Amino acid sequence: MKNYLIHDEWKIIEEGFHPQYNKISESIFSLGNGRKGGRGNFEEKYSGQTLQGNYIAGVYYPDKTRVGWWKNGYPEYFAKVLNAANWIGINVKVDGEELDLAHMIIESFQRVLNMKEGTLSRSFVASFKSGKQLKVTSLRFLSIVTPEVGAIRYTVQPLNFSGKIKVTPFVDFDVINEDSNYDEKFWVGEYLENLGNEGYLTAHTKKTKFLVCSGMKYNVLLDGKEHAVHIENESREKYIESSFTLDLKQKQEITLFKYGVNTSSEYFNKSRLAYESKEILNEAFETGFEALLGEHKETWARKWETSDIKIKGDVAAQQGIRFNIFQLNQTYTGDDERLNIGPKGFTGEKYGGSTYWDTEAYCFPFYLATAPQKVAKNLLVYRYKHLEKAIENAQKLGFTGGAALYPMVTINGEECHNEWEITFEEIHRNGAIAYAIHDYIRHTGDKDYLAEYGFEVLLAMSRFWSQRVNWSAQKKQFVLLGVTGPNEYENNVNNNFHTSNMAVWTLKYTLEAIDFLKKNHTERYAALCKKASFDEANETSRWKEIVENMYLPWDEERQIYLQQDGFLDKDLTPASEINPAERPISQHWSWDRILRSPYIKQADTLQSLFWFEERYETEFIARHFDFYEPLTVHESSLSSCVHTVLAAKIGRPEKAYEMYLRTSRLDLDDYNNDTEDGLHITSMGGTWMAVVMGFGGMRVSGGKLTFNPILPDGWTGYSFMIRFRGALLKVNVNKDNVEVINESPIKVEVLLNGKEI
Amino acid sequence: MKNYLIHDEWKIIEEGFHPQYNKISESIFSLGNGRKGGRGNFEEKYSGQTLQGNYIAGVYYPDKTRVGWWKNGYPEYFAKVLNAANWIGINVKVDGEELDLAHMIIESFQRVLNMKEGTLSRSFVASFKSGKQLKVTSLRFLSIVTPEVGAIRYTVQPLNFSGKIKVTPFVDFDVINEDSNYDEKFWVGEYLENLGNEGYLTAHTKKTKFLVCSGMKYNVLLDGKEHAVHIENESREKYIESSFTLDLKQKQEITLFKYGVNTSSEYFNKSRLAYESKEILNEAFETGFEALLGEHKETWARKWETSDIKIKGDVAAQQGIRFNIFQLNQTYTGDDERLNIGPKGFTGEKYGGSTYWDTEAYCFPFYLATAPQKVAKNLLVYRYKHLEKAIENAQKLGFTGGAALYPMVTINGEECHNEWEITFEEIHRNGAIAYAIHDYIRHTGDKDYLAEYGFEVLLAMSRFWSQRVNWSAQKKQFVLLGVTGPNEYENNVNNNFHTSNMAVWTLKYTLEAIDFLKKNHTERYAALCKKASFDEANETSRWKEIVENMYLPWDEERQIYLQQDGFLDKDLTPASEINPAERPISQHWSWDRILRSPYIKQADTLQSLFWFEERYETEFIARHFDFYEPLTVHESSLSSCVHTVLAAKIGRPEKAYEMYLRTSRLDLDDYNNDTEDGLHITSMGGTWMAVVMGFGGMRVSGGKLTFNPILPDGWTGYSFMIRFRGALLKVNVNKDNVEVINESPIKVEVLLNGKEI
């Protein structure tokens, strides 16, 4: 746990340079605009601890899998989002001495992420060995309006000397992924142009052949006035620079405006990529820094209008929740259904930048309730477009007849993960994808989505479940053998309640979808059945049998669902009795000890109770919570949100708040010692859920939006915004009263604490 | 399945060269003498498919582990037996044309492994592009008398021309392991001597710093008479050659006698290694080829006297069983307790040349019954010497107080394997090691072994079991969670019968050992207790509780032990109904499908019934056999032997013979398409068991040797030799009668078909 950042409602502030935490800061100060992003790296050279990272959405490389012992069905590749050109680079030399904060005395250092405006600024005074002091200030943003464009204002001022200052803006495409399996470079240089204040590099990725162009153009002000400089261009493979040198008098000030462009063949014709990049960059250059920044701020302001959460009386909590919302909005803007949300977004390389079930389970509710409807819809369409690959994936495992198993980890729809207990067995992910369809329709009322895309996905997944279960002659019920639930501290178990429950629910929901389509989209339904060779009578009759005869492990004595068969054979000593020096157990215990233990990594049985709470009495949920939560070690960042929501639901506000605190500032305080790898983007959706669904008690039920708010002790009030069926609602929770304000002319049905308002 | 080798009682014969099978032949024609061994490679250059392999016992390298996803507790290294110097090399050029069978017309090719005499010979006529025909014959052996020495007689004769023949004997130490994880070379050259007809290379291994010296010396005969040649020496790093050229007339014959030496710092002082090697080599050189070969044949004859099995009426079966016995005797001679039996012996690199539980479970009975007592004892002492490491290994997994978990795979006592479901969970291996102690004492009567070495090992393993079980409040019994049984087609199951059974038996056997030691070795016992800080009263009282209250899964309806909890939830369709095109399932089914299936890779529950058959009625065993065998796919070469023995026991001679056929010629017929990787050395012990314990019905019980022989239909008779408590017995089984002949003056108690004789 670190505590070096200053608490502020709208800003993340590092006062004084903390080189020992620089990789953490680089993650935290990341910028993104949904199409590209990069870590909070310095513009100038830094020879200390750093991970230089710039990432372009959708551009990946299938890196050959590294595995100890091969198992049939493993994927051959792990698709990685690629570290792309460093376009922010500006090196500075003063009379031959290089500006490099790793080797200088630094004063007045400040690094600020302005979340309201979407900018990263920095200022400091650095002393060279010669004693010369240079003041530097910079401001950087990635336009949320024109996502190909980024811009930097970079000012240097000699404080106590006059001298020659050499400034070298550059673009470096000779980069490598830190997590490359075979230390291979993935980029092949194609084209290079470098003339005066403008230059471009084009490179393609090996194997996948994505083409990416990164360019820069700049102008220079001396003491605030446009200043012509003599430029020297230098180039080598995958690298261009364009430097100038000025004789500066003490206190004179150079300001460099560097504009960057990053385009990819995902959005532009390959043959026109360099040309289009030039067009875009020159337009940005003409528009100018202030105008670009102005429209950027305005767009961010509009995003905040519909997605902000205000917390009164707790600046740390306010900063924490805004940081999460800001990063979610930087990562995914929802205008391209080919994109999704990687666990680290654009802030690092770990987990390959791929899509996990995290998206549907923990991020989807945020976008559903705060962004235009198409944003959440595009997340569903992303999976729809991968349906063919999910069917192929199931075929590789021996399933037939159009059964689909979505991958555990993917970029392009193909499975990337290769631990058998996860890849082949953590199949509840299929359930999360079905649940997101249900969640979308419940929230938006867009039931026709079933006809458009949803049914095909549900059908293929129901076919999967129907083959994945088998009849147990012993139990005289259907069983689901060899699965791994959300609690990955159990592997290859039989009859995991959550997985079996999701299987049954998916079958039921698909049967309901069929009824709806038959009535409301008769022709479309017939066409879809034909397309999928769906033998309705036979296939649904087996589904119904399974729905009616599925085994769900249940303990009669405790009246609870069991996480899996045999769970009660474990030594059920509560997690609170584990020696604190041995926490987290994932870092201290051998894997077999963890597996034999009863300890739960993240909500498993409780995940189902959270998703289907309407089915159960509060007391029933509380009984399960009281059994499972004491055994839960919350060693996944995705654990606490579900527990917050449930604790709030069953009337345990202190427990809810305790759980909430574990994730609200997970990255800002580097709670798990791993923020340097990148931010926990997908768990940020969970934190939003914790506030809105936990404390706010928001649910959608029967076409109505309901709230049952509670106010955590440390807060004096909070408010949040919800989009619901065209309306925009503001919920204000204070000590004495709760208001729900409809800020739009569209009427919707809302229940507050069970009463219609 | 291949069928290119000629059936013969004492020889393996390849008639005509089969380049497509050359790597298979190289495995089959391997030579070894317990201290070193090598594949049946050609002496001269061969540019076709080949794995040049020479291995020196005990000389290994810890290769850095390659793993996809790290788990706590994994070992960092995989120790590999190293491919060492190629000392057999003899290159031949005829008027500048190189002898290389990959590019020539070959006639009259014959490669013969003489199992009776322990020699490999080869002869052929090869035509060069020029049309010149050269006749080559060679004979090679690795002395079983002086294990550092090997010798080659290599004869060339121009058949239809006169010309210059250049012969280049060489030693090449610049070799690499085919299975090197990072394509690294493991040998560092140290010292090189190359003068005239004699040369030496010394190299050490990285990390482990084993020092190995390989040398050669030769003399030349022309038409049978010693001939002085003009020698040219050439050397480079890790390579020496010593060539001569002769003008040969048509039909003249050169014979080269090349003597090789291979020594290691395991047996010689490093500082004297080169000197000692020279002494040994020169002594062999002086002794001469024929004399060395003579004593070598004699010693092999003596080995056969006590270990041969004769089968009448079935040449293929006779060849198969002798091949297995021959390879077992080539691999392990039992005079060094630091050595053990790798799954491939000296015939290939797969599985790293390490020790598995195969040794105790499948090889031990062979050496116990056919070799001097110290041979089997040394296999036990090998484990005793690794006890410290086994305790460390258990500590890494969280066990305390001197508990030992022997590694799954090892050379020096450290664990090398890194699949969690095997490394951490396939713990029944501890049981096999305990059982071997019991087996040894039962066979030899050497109960004092407990005082000498056995008890310390048993104590440490009992401590392991006592911590590894936990109390199930649900079952009110002790359970054993998260294990993998011998059937590796099930992973991480609860309460595997075999594992739990071995745990309970080990505890009981250790308790018996304590009683014996207290009575018979009072002082030694006290000393051992002190050494191990053994709190007898407390520790044994827990053991007794476990013995009395251990849960073993049992099906009341079928009256059988269940392989594991939940086994009856599976779809129990017999293996005979699997589509033959999908066999072996390990090559056709995804891993999750295999895990969910009921199919059994090798004897699991039946392994326990085999080991403890005295406890059970024949009918009880038959009931289990009839339940489990139809679900068994026998996809491990270690499966059939146990099934042969049990089938014979329960009176199913046809089934016994069907099972036997699966392994008797496993490598000779390349049954599993993997003989090219090396021979299945450890499963060869199983084949011996199948004949002697299966058809011969041999058991040891109550200090008596018992036989209940049956005669397979295709055989007219068979006989085998058994060493038992100093005596040497010959068992002759014919259609009409069975004889047991004591070929020694020592009296032992023998039962034949239940009657004393």
What is the DSSP secondary-structure string of B398-438?
Answer: T--TT-----SSBSSSS-----HHHHTT-THHHHHHHHHHH
Residues of B annotated catalytic, as ranges: 488
Task: Calculate mean pLDDT across residues B698-718.
Answer: 95
Position B134 scores a pLDDT of 98
Q: For residues A371, A374, A376 and A378, what is the CA-based torsion angle, rounded to 10 degrees?
A: -140
Residue A492 has its nearest CB partner, among B66, B69, B492, at: B492
For residue range B244-286, list pLDDT tens digits in order: 999 999 999 999 999 999 999 999 999 999 999 999 999 999 9
DSSP tag of B188: E
pLDDT in tens, B564-591: 999 999 999 999 999 999 999 999 999 9
pLDDT at B105: 96
Average pLDDT for A599-609: 98
Report pLDDT for B350.
85
By the 8 A CB rule, do A520 and A532 touch? no
**Is A76's pLDDT higher than 90?**
no
Query: Of the candidates B396, B470, B591, which has its C-beta nearest A571's C-beta?
Result: B470
pLDDT of residue A46: 97
Mean pLDDT of B48-69: 90
Residue B72 has pLDDT above 90, yes or no: no
Out of A415, A425, A426, A488, the active site residue is A488
Of A65, A420, A592, the CB nearest to B397: A592
Dihedral over Cα of A700, A701, A704, A709: its sign: negative
pLDDT-based confidence at residue A707 (cuts at 50, 70, 90) = very high
Reported as a pLDDT band with limits 50, 70 and 90, residue A81 is: confident
First to last CA, chain B: 44
Give the other-Cβ count within 10 Å of A111's Cβ. 25
pLDDT of residue A182: 79
In this prediction, residue B408 has a pLDDT band, given cuts at 50, 70 and 90, of very high
Please answer yes or no on whether B566 and A568 come within 8 Å at the CB atom.
no
Q: pLDDT per residue over A246-278, tens digit each?
A: 999 999 999 999 999 999 999 999 999 999 999
Give the best residue of A569, A585, A586 to mutate against chain B (max B CB count within 10 A): A569
What's the confidence (pLDDT) of residue A590? 95
Which residues of B are less than 8 Å from A596 in CB distance? 470, 481-482
Q: d(Cα B595, Cα B579) in Å, to the nearest integer?
A: 18
* The pLDDT value given to residue B81: 87
Predicted complex ipTM exceeds 0.95 = no
Domains of chain B, with CATH numbers? 5-64+77-304 (2.70.98.40)
Predicted local confidence at residue B65, as pLDDT: 81
Instruction: Scan residues 392-411 of B and list those with Cβ closer than 8 Å to A.
Output: 396-398
Residue A192 · residue A235 · CB < 8 Å: yes
Residues of A with CB below 8 A from B425's CB? 592
| Residues within 8 A of A (CB atoms), B 591-650 only | 591-596
What is the distance in angstroms between the Cα of B677 and the nearest Cα belonging to chain A? 17
**Mapping DSSP to helix (H, G, I), strand (E, B) and coil, where does residue B91 land?**
strand
pLDDT digits (tens, 9 = 90+) for A363-400: 999 999 999 999 999 999 999 999 999 999 999 999 99
Are the beta carbons of A482 and B65 separated by less than 8 Å? Answer: no
DSSP secondary structure string for all residues of A274-298: HHHHHHHHHHHHHH-HHHHHHHHHH
Residues A634 and A585: their CA atoms lie apart, in Å, by: 10
pLDDT, position B298: 98
Over residues B227-240, the mean pLDDT reads 97
Q: Give yes or no for residue A663 having a pLDDT over 90.
A: no
CA–CA gap between residue B387 and residue A559 (Å, rounded): 47
Query: Mean pLDDT, to the nearest integer, of A43-64?
Result: 95
**Tokens linked to B47:** 């540019």
Q: What tens digit of pLDDT does each residue of A399-445 get?
A: 999 999 999 999 999 999 989 999 999 999 999 999 999 999 999 99
Find the mean pLDDT for residues B601-614: 98
Distance from CA of B144 to the nearest CA of A (A): 37
- Span of B77-91, B454-468, B533-547 with lowest mean pLDDT: B77-91
In the prediction, which pLDDT does B351 show? 79
Among B263, B322, B188, smallest CA distance to B36 is for B263
Distance between CA A663 and CA A317 in Å, rounded?
Answer: 10
Q: Which of A171, A166, A137 is nearest to A229 (CA)?
A: A166
Average pLDDT over residues A511-535: 98
pLDDT of residue A24: 97
Residue A74: the pLDDT is 86
Kindly report the pTM of this predicted structure: 0.93
Confidence of residue A71 (pLDDT cuts 50, 70, 90): confident
Q: For A493, which DSSP code? A: B
CB-CB neighbours of B415 under 10 Å: 26
| pLDDT reported for residue A72 | 84
Residue B408: what residue type?
A: M
Is B105 within 8 Å of B127 (Cβ atoms)? Answer: yes
Q: List residues bridging with B150 in a β-sheet.
A: B142, B260
Does pLDDT of A68 surpass 80? no
B588–A contact, CB cutoff 8 A: yes
Strand-pair category, A149-158 with A254-264: antiparallel
pLDDT band per the 50, 70, 90 thresholds, residue A80: confident
- Euclidean distance between CA atoms A359 and A353, whole angstroms: 12
Name every chain A residue with its beta carbon within 8 A of the beta carbon of B494: 566, 569
> Residue B484: phi, psi to the nearest 5?
-125, 125
Q: Does A587 touch chain B (CB under 8 A)?
A: yes
- Among chain B residues, the shortest Cα distance to A73 is held by B590
Mean pLDDT of all residues belonging to chain A: 96
Is the CB of A475 less than 8 angstroms away from the CB of B569?
yes
Band (A221; pLDDT cuts 50, 70, 90):
very high
- CB–CB of A470 and B596 under 8 A? yes
Higher pLDDT, B692 or B75: B692
Helices B315-331, B681-689: inter-axial angle, 10-degree rounding? 130
pLDDT of residue B337: 96
CB within 8 Å of B202: residues ≥ 6 apart: B189, B190, B191, B192, B211, B212, B213, B273, B274
4-43 in B: which are within 8 Å (CB) of A? none
Burial of A209 per CB tally in 10 Å (0-12, 13-18, 19+): exposed
Cβ within 8 Å of residue B303, ≥6 positions away: B144, B329
pLDDT attached to residue B73: 82
Output the pLDDT for position B216.
98
- HSE-CB of B685 using CA atoms within 13 angstroms: 28
CB contact (8 A) between residue A66 and residue B68: yes
Q: Return all residues near A738 (Cβ < 8 A) that are at least 6 apart.
A: A707, A709, A731, A732, A752, A753
CA neighbor of A194 nearest in space, from A148, A228, A241, A238: A241
Strand partners, B61: B80
Look up A582 and say whether it is catalytic: no
Chain B nearest CA to A482, separation (Å): 6
Helix, strand, coil percentages (3-state) for chain A, rounded to 5, are 35, 25, 35
Q: What is the pLDDT of residue A750?
A: 96
Alpha-carbon distance of A245 to A113, in angstroms, equals 30
Residue A364 neighbours by CB under 8 Å, 6+ apart:
A376, A379, A436, A439, A440, A685
Question: Chain B contacts of A66, Cβ < 8 Å?
Answer: 66-68
Confidence at residue B352, expressed as pLDDT on a 0 to 100 scale: 76
Does residue A450 surpass a pLDDT of 90? yes
pLDDT of residue B369: 97
Q: What per-residue confidence (pLDDT) applies to B184? A: 87
- Tell me the pLDDT band of A183, cut-offs 50, 70 and 90: confident
pLDDT at B24 over 90: yes
Q: Which residues pair with A478 in a beta bridge?
A: A471, A550
CA distance A82 to A205: 9
* CA pair distance B250, B252, nearest whole angstrom: 6
Q: What is the largest CA-CA distance in chain A?
A: 90
Q: Does B479 touch chain A (CB under 8 A)?
A: yes
pLDDT at B179: 80
| B175-203 per-position pLDDT tens digit | 998 888 878 899 999 999 999 999 999 99
- Long-range residue pairs from A221-226, CB within 8 A, at least 24 positions apart, any chain: A221/A254, A221/A255, A221/A256, A221/A257, A222/A246, A222/A252, A222/A253, A222/A254, A222/A255, A223/A252, A223/A253, A224/A253, A224/A255
Mean pLDDT of B370-393: 98
| pLDDT confidence band for A179 (50 / 70 / 90) | confident
The shortest CB-CB distance from A589 to any of B398, B418, B590 is to B398
What's the number of CA atoms in the CB half-sphere (13 Å) around residue B341?
31
Stretch B614-641: mean pLDDT: 96
Instruction: Give the pLDDT confidence score for residue B75 in this predicted structure.
Output: 85
pLDDT at residue number B180: 83
